[in-house]
């Protein structure tokens, strides 16, 4: 064969270089129900800016804008090198924000550094960005010299010297303006944003090697899902798709747990049909994804299913069996499936479809839309679910139709490469040779390797059929 994928860097592994803290490689994360996303504006023309969108529902909600020393998300051939020594590095950027705690406030944006001190003891340092800022609380230039950082709120009285020689990750905290650590629900969802622009990094520790392989085109398309990639920048995702040789249409499943705008309901939150059905971070992320795909010459198929995170679904919207039990998938916590017989559920789903199609139209006039999750089927989980239903029923009669809940949602998954352009059989590994339905060593024994369905697994670097 003319080429092969390898997990470790070899002499023939093509390598490029990036500056540490390249905007494309930051991530976000947070706890439900809040939502956040990070994108890199294409109109800047250079990877020196990022924008975080947030929506808070509780007074204690907190999002993290994260930089990790180890690249855990990219394909091994495209990942940046692990370099935990942040010394001899200076980071400077312009910070602008609105709708989040400002830099000069109590609980304002704080750089949390996780690693070990010079003696190898695990440590966490809290660096108040305002101590290194010039400007106002919502518009300032921040300069961080990792050889001279001090943790603590008030300096020098509360100084806690940072040793940046062994860092695992760092993140900037973002909280709502009324943040007070209490569990109180906000009177209304609070949207906010923060931008880092003019990101510059210098010093002998400021450069990272990065895999820069460009694989031959192989005739396969990529299938992905928002619930798997909400925390990454779209630019980072599209770089991987293109350089791993995927072309044509990207089947993008919009997911079941991150796109919806929520409203308080009882002791929790539920999807809201009032106003915009998509939350602001989701809309911003998908606008960026559509633009990145269009810029790379990739088509985009928007995939929407009847699946919805169970905790966010009104009871009246759920499919139910003859015993009145709601349709629940095998995920933990579970998702449910919307009833096509409920007008309110279908009206909401139509609004969601229109919202995503409108985003697609802004980037590309030829919009493609798919009803149903575009990933591989959940055959194993479906049969476990039916077995549980059988145990609950006195007559033990539980029949399992193709797809979820009688085939309404004809196939589901959470990303990975596959042949074709969407759809699902409910039997994802039927007819495949046993060696291609193998377990992925990077995903663990509980999950199937994406290479088993004919593509390159983004986790373990194996290739289907090899």
Give the model confidence (pLDDT) of 231-248 as tens digits.
999 999 999 999 999 999
What are the pLDDT digits (tens) for 29-47? 999 999 999 999 876 556 7
What is the average pLDDT across 416-426? 29
420: pLDDT confidence band, cut at 50, 70 and 90?
Answer: very low
**Residue 268 forms beta bridges with which residues?**
265
pLDDT level of residue 85 (50, 70, 90 thresholds): very high
Q: How confident is the model at residue 398 (pLDDT cuts 50, 70, 90)?
A: very low
Highest mean pLDDT among 319-323, 429-433, 454-458: 319-323
pLDDT value of residue 429: 27
Buried b (16+ CB within 10 A) or exposed e, 431-449: ebeeebbbebeebeeeebb
Alpha carbon 93 to chain centroid, angstroms:
24
Q: Which two tokens stand for residue 170?
A: 């760092």
Give per-residue pLDDT as tens, 43-84. Answer: 655 679 999 999 999 999 999 999 999 999 999 999 999 999
**What pLDDT digit, counting tens, does each position of 7-20 carry?**
565 655 678 999 99
Query: pLDDT by residue (tens digit) across 241-300?
Result: 999 999 999 999 999 999 999 999 999 999 998 889 999 999 999 999 999 999 999 999
| Inter-axis angle of helices 234-243 and 280-295, nearest 10 | 30
Residues 6+ apart with CB under 8 A from 168: 68, 69, 70, 84, 114, 115
Place of tokens 């509980």: 446
Mean pLDDT, the chain, integer:
82
pLDDT of residue 365: 79
Span 308-330, pLDDT tens digits: 999 999 999 999 999 999 999 99
Task: Determine contact, residues 401/410, Cβ cutoff 8 Å.
Answer: no
Q: What is the DSSP letter of 162?
A: -
pLDDT tens-digit series, residues 444-454: 333 344 433 33
User: What are the beta bridge partners of residue 208?
Assistant: 18
- Give the span between the Cα atoms of 192 and 388, in whole angstroms: 43
Q: What is the pLDDT of residue 42?
A: 74
CA 373 from centroid of its chain's CA atoms: 17
| Alpha-carbon gap, residue 387 to 264, rounded angstroms | 34
Which domains, ranges and CATH numbers included, belong to the chain? 15-210 (2.60.120), 214-428 (no CATH)
The band of 364, judged by pLDDT with boundaries at 50, 70 and 90, is confident
User: What average pLDDT score do residues 344-351 get?
Assistant: 96
Please, what is the Cα angle at 228 between 47 and 48, to 5 degrees?
10
DSSP string, 253-302: E--SSSSB-EEEETTEEEE--SS-SB-HHHHHHHHHHHHHHHHTT-EEEE
pLDDT digits (tens, 9 = 90+) for 199-230: 999 999 999 999 999 999 998 999 999 999 99
Smallest CA-to-CA distance from 429 within 389, 377, 385 is with: 377
Cα–Cα distance for residue pair 405/399, rounded to 1 Å: 10
pLDDT of residue 114 exceeding 90, the answer is yes
The pLDDT of residue 443: 37
Instruction: Compute the distance between CA of residue 312 and CA of residue 10 in angstroms, rounded to an integer.
Output: 47
Percent with pLDDT over 70 in the chain: 76
How distant, in Å, are the alpha carbons of 131, 196, 440 from that of 211? 36, 25, 21
Which range has the worst mean pLDDT, 54-68, 126-140, 450-464? 450-464
143-168: per-residue pLDDT in tens?
999 999 999 999 999 999 999 999 99
Model confidence at 375, in pLDDT bands (50, 70, 90)? low
* Whether residue 106 has pLDDT greater than 90: yes
The residue-averaged pLDDT of 395-401 equals: 36
Q: How far apart are CA 152 and CA 131, in angstroms?
A: 9
Confidence of residue 377 (pLDDT cuts 50, 70, 90): very low
Q: What percent of the chain has pLDDT over 90?
A: 72
d(CA 334, CA 311): 8
Q: Which residues sit opposite 140 in a β-bridge?
A: 95, 135
Q: Residue 43's pLDDT is what?
A: 63
Residue 298 in tokens: 């990739």
Question: Is residue 408's pLDDT more than 80?
Answer: no
Quote the pTM value: 0.80
| CA torsion, ordered 131, 134, 139, 141, to nearest 10 deg | -90
Average pLDDT (169-186) is: 96
pLDDT of residue 446: 36
């Amino acid at each position: 064969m003319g080429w092969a994928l390898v997990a470790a860097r070899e002499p023939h592994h093509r390598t490029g270089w990036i500056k540490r803290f390249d905007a494309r490689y930051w991530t976000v994360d947070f706890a439900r129900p809040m939502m956040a996303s990070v994108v890199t504006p294409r109109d800047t023309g250079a990877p020196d800016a990022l924008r975080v969108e947030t929506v808070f529902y509780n007074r204690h909600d907190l999002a993290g804008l994260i930089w990790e020393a180890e690249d855990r998300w990219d394909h091994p051939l495209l990942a940046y090198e692990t370099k935990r020594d942040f010394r001899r590095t200076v980071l400077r950027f312009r910070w602008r924000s609105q709708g989040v705690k400002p830099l000069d406030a109590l609980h304002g944006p704080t750089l949390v550094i996780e690693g070990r001190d010079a003696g190898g003891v695990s440590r966490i340092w809290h660096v108040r960005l305002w101590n290194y800022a010039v400007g106002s609380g919502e518009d300032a230039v921040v300069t961080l010299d990792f050889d001279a950082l001090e943790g603590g709120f008030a300096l020098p009285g509360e100084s806690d010297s940072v040793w940046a020689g062994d860092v695992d990750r760092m993140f900037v905290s973002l909280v709502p303006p009324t943040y007070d650590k209490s569990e109180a629900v906000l009177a209304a969802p609070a949207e906010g944003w923060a931008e880092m622009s003019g990101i510059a990094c210098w010093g002998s520790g400021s450069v990272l090697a990065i895999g820069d392989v460009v694989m031959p085109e192989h005739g396969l398309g990529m299938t992905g899902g928002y619930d798997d990639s909400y925390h990454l920048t779209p630019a980072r995702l599209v770089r991987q798709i293109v350089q791993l040789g995927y072309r044509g249409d990207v089947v993008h499943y919009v997911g079941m747990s991150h796109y919806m705008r929520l409203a308080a309901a009882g002791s929790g939150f539920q999807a809201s049909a009032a106003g915009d059905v998509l939350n602001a971070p989701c809309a911003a992320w998908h606008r960026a994804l559509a633009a990145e795909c269009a810029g790379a010459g990739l088509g985009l198929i928007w995939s929407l299913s009847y699946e919805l995170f169970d905790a966010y679904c009104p009871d009246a919207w759920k499919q139910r069996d003859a015993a009145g039990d709601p349709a629940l998938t095998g995920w933990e916590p579970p998702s449910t499936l919307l009833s096509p017989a409920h007008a309110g559920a279908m009206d909401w789903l139509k609004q969601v479809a229109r919202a995503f199609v409108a985003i697609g139209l802004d980037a590309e006039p030829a919009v493609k839309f798919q009803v149903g999750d575009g990933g591989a089927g959940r055959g194993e989980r479906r049969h476990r679910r039916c077995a549980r239903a059988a145990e609950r029923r006195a007559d033990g009669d539980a029949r399992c139709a193709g797809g979820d809940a009688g085939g309404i949602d004809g196939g589901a998954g959470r990303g990975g490469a596959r042949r074709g352009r969407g759809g699902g059989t409910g039997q994802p590994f039927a007819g495949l040779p046993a060696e291609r339905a193998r377990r992925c060593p990077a995903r663990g024994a509980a999950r199937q390797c994406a290479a088993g369905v004919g593509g390159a697994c983004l986790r373990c670097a194996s290739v289907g059929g090899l």
